Amino acid sequence: MVSHSELRKLFCSADAVCFDVDSTVIREEGIDELAKFCGVEDAVSEMTRRAMGGAVPFKAALTERLALIQPSREQVQRLIAEHPPHLTPGIRELVSRLQERNVQVFLISGGFRSIVEHVASKLNIPSTNVFANRLKFYFNGEYAGFDEMQPTAESGGKGKVIKLLKEKFHFKKVVMIGDGATDMEACPPADVFIGFGGNVIRQQVKDNSEWYITDFVELLGELEE
């Protein structure tokens, strides 16, 4: 068990900070918003709830939900244009403060790259620092599945991405911040996990996090001290 002051020191001296996106960096769950937009909201949000609770393997849950939604390329583009995701209060300031300190910031999401890249652009995070699932479309724009080779398509995928980042960039201290079970499972290989409950509180994460916050202002405060 690491003491809280040690966790704070680790956070303030991190080489890289990785954020989950849905319900962490943004207020919504991207896949539920896509389902709502495509008219199959209720069935899909029930599946998301089961997946987040860890009851269903991630790839199976993703396959099942996308088979119901069948989003076309046009629908995904229209969703981003007409209902852009809302950034969580404080995230813009936190990311920019980390970047000022030359900390690498990554977005690691089980959501969709097209939506996550839109979020990254709002936070001045380069698309090379985005890891998310790629939707596939036929030449006519119809849904054709998703890229199952992406590490984020698997259970344990976020941990695989962090391991890869450590190997590639030789990061010594990596922090993972997120709301869900898949984020918590990424530590280790992450050195610190900070549970985030500012949009939705997942009891399992709250109960098992050594450091749990409900407002990014708390982390900004740590960096200012």
Catalytic residue among 20, 32, 179, 191: 20
Give the integer Cα–Cα distance in Å for 16 and 7: 14
**ω into 85 cis (within 30 of 0):** no
Strands 135-137 and 143-146 come out as: antiparallel
Give the integer Cα–Cα distance in Å for 211 and 214: 10
Confirm whether 183 is a catalytic residue: no
As given in the structure block, the two tokens for residue 186 are: 């990424």
Could you write out the DSSP letters of every residue in 149-177? TSGGGSTTHHHHHHHHHHHHH--S-EEEE
As given in the structure block, the two tokens for residue 161 are: 């991405």
Confirm whether 20 is a catalytic residue: yes
Q: Which of 7-38 are b and which e, b meaning 16 or more Cβ less than 10 Å from the residue's Cβ? A: beebbeebbbbbbbbbbbbbbbbbbbbbbbbb
Catalytic residue among 22, 32, 179, 191: 22
Catalytic residues: 20, 22
